[in-house]
Amino acid sequence: MNRDDIARRVVITGLGSISPLGLSAPETWEGMIQGRSGVARITLFDPSDYKTQIAAEVKGFDPKDFMDGKLARRIDRFTQFAIAASREAVADAGLDLSKEDIYRVGVLLGSGVGGIGTLLKQQGILERRGPRRVSPFLITAMTPDAASGQVAIDLGVRGPNFAVVSACATGSGVLGEASEILRRGDADVMVAGGSEACILPITIAGFDIIGGISSRNDEPEKASRPFDLDRDGFILGEGAAILVLETLDHAMKRGARIYAEFIGYGVSADAYHMIAPEPEGKGAVASMKMALRKAGIRPEDVDYINAHGTSTPLNDKSETAAIKEVFGNHAYRLMVSSTKSVTGHMLGATGATEALACAMALYEGIVPPTMNYETPDPDCDLDYVPNKARKVPIRIALSNSFGLGGHDATIILRRWEGD
């Protein structure tokens, strides 16, 4: 292997997570493989008047446990999540930033809706108390790039820094773009992922009115049931997942532990509808094919797919069709699971959370299950790893993320074998 090959390869060396399953990456991963649901009745506001009264909230999060109280008061909840998860990821990577060229360490974070909670709160203050009482921190707290900027300030790094916004495909798109920055030599390290804090009356009402979310209020832990015949919508979630990506050259020089190698990234558009996926999954097919091509692997090399798997009737059917189109007969030998069955759909954070799941599945040789899979759907007839984690060594994992607006993103990771 020559030096140029090493420089172009990208690896994952650190993981951080704030999720409905716990306040760290190990807690999140453990919850996934245990099949422990993070879904419960909403406590962030009184949901009694809403059709949907359940969500996957982050529980027990006190920002002052992770940062200075003064900073916590000036930023939105989604940025609080991002800072907490970023600090964990950097520590987990064993990255001493005082020894790094801070112009070669970048931050790339994404969010589907940004600081919408702060915006709505300040709108209320404006209406009740007038314009002079609006917070001077409103603008810097509400924008989707707020987390990326604040994390860079918090870490003190000055490399490439911006935000990606592509609805539910954001997290995977962020990681893909971060990998491209590293491959083209613009940074040595990227702190990358997604964050979201959108469990609010307006978002629940908005998703309710378009029939997107489940109203299985009497059984919250069973409401998210990807690929099951009785699925009736997704569960809104919140949280953050941050990964440290490095060039292999940089990681090897500092003797870093490597969770997995990042080998492929594909993006496309359905160009079909703002809400519904293209029925045959044409955009998803294009995204997966691009990722496979860039990874330089064959479809039959893939062992596991962490599906977008939202638990909506249309998504799960079209994603299954797309997997069959790309993988042919191998689709029936693949393991496919949706960790949204326990985390809910974390919008801009979900792709990064599922990348964390893939990295850990490769690292530990355990495939997380699809929970609540009880009644098979004839249109969804693959191996969805139902209801119990599967201990099996895998070499290559693919993760799909598909967003409102027809955004499609696919990433591919490979088990690190010290090569």
Catalytic residues: 168, 308, 345
Which residue has 């378009």 as its token pair?
210
Is residue 226 classed as helix, strand or coil in its secondary structure?
coil
> Count of residues for the chain?
419
Residues 247, 250, 251, CA angle at the centre, nearest 5°? Answer: 85
Integer angstrom CA distances of residue 61 from 22, 171, 197: 9, 21, 12
With the CA atoms of 129, 131, 133 and 136 taken in that order, what torsion angle do they form, in degrees rounded to the nearest 10? 150
User: What Å distances lie between residue 312 and 42, 152, 179, CA to CA?
Assistant: 20, 36, 30
- Report helix angle 282-295 to 313-327, nearest 10: 40
- φ, ψ dihedrals at 218, nearest 5°: -80, -15
Hey, what's the torsion of the CAs at 269, 274, 278, 284, to 10 degrees?
40
Torsion sign across C-alpha atoms 96, 413, 111, 20: negative
